[in-house]
Chains A and B, each alone.
Chain A
Amino acid sequence: MSQTMLKVENLFCERDDRVLFDQLSFEVDGGEIVQIEGANGSGKTTLLRILSGLSRNYEGEIYWQGEPIEKVREEFRAELLYFGHQPGVKALLTPEENLHWYCALHASLDPARVQEALEQVGLRGFEDVPCHTLSAGQHRRVSLARLYLSDARLWILDEPFTAIDKRGVAAKEALIGRHVAQGGSVILTTHQDLQGSGAVRSINLDRQGERG
Chain B
Amino acid sequence: MVEKKKWLPRWFYQLASPRWCYQICGKLLPGFAVAALILLLGGIVWALLFAPADYQQGNSFRIIYLHVPSAILAQSCYMMMAVAGAIGLIWKMKVADMVAKSCAPIGATMAVLALLTGAIWGKPTWGSWWVWDARLTSMLILLFLYLGVMALNSAIESESTAAQASAVLSLVGLVNIPIIKYSVDWWNTLHQPATFTLTERPAMPAEMWVPLLMMVVGFYCFFAVSLMLRLRNEILRRERRAGWVRDLLLSK
| Chain A interfacial positions (CB closer than 8 Å to B) | 57
Contact = CB atoms under 8 A, between A and B. Distances in A.
A57 B158 CA distance: 9
B12 to A, nearest CB: 19
B160 interface: yes
B127 to A, nearest CB: 55
A211 to B, nearest CB: 15
A54 to B, nearest CB: 12
Contacts of B160: 57
Query: How would you classify the secondary structure of chain B's contact residues: helix, strand, loop or mixed?
Result: helix
Say which size band chain B's interface belongs to.
Answer: under 10
Contacts of A57: 158, 160-161
A57 B161 CA distance: 8
Contacts of B158: 57
Interface in B150-185: 158, 160-161
A57 B97 CA distance: 14
A161 to B, nearest CB: 30
Contacts of B161: 57
B4 to A, nearest CB: 11
Interface in B89-146: none
A163 B236 CA distance: 46
**3 A-B pairs closest in CB distance:** A57-B160, A57-B158, A57-B161
3 contacts: A57-B158, A57-B160, A57-B161
A86 to B, nearest CB: 19
A50 to B, nearest CB: 13
A64 B152 CA distance: 34
A57 B160 CA distance: 7
A146 B161 CA distance: 30
Nearest to A17: B241
B208 to A, nearest CB: 53
A57 B94 CA distance: 12
A186 B229 CA distance: 50
Interface string B226-246: 000000000000000000000
A65 to B, nearest CB: 18
Nearest to B161: A57
B236 to A, nearest CB: 15
B228 to A, nearest CB: 26
Nearest to A61: B1
B168 to A, nearest CB: 14
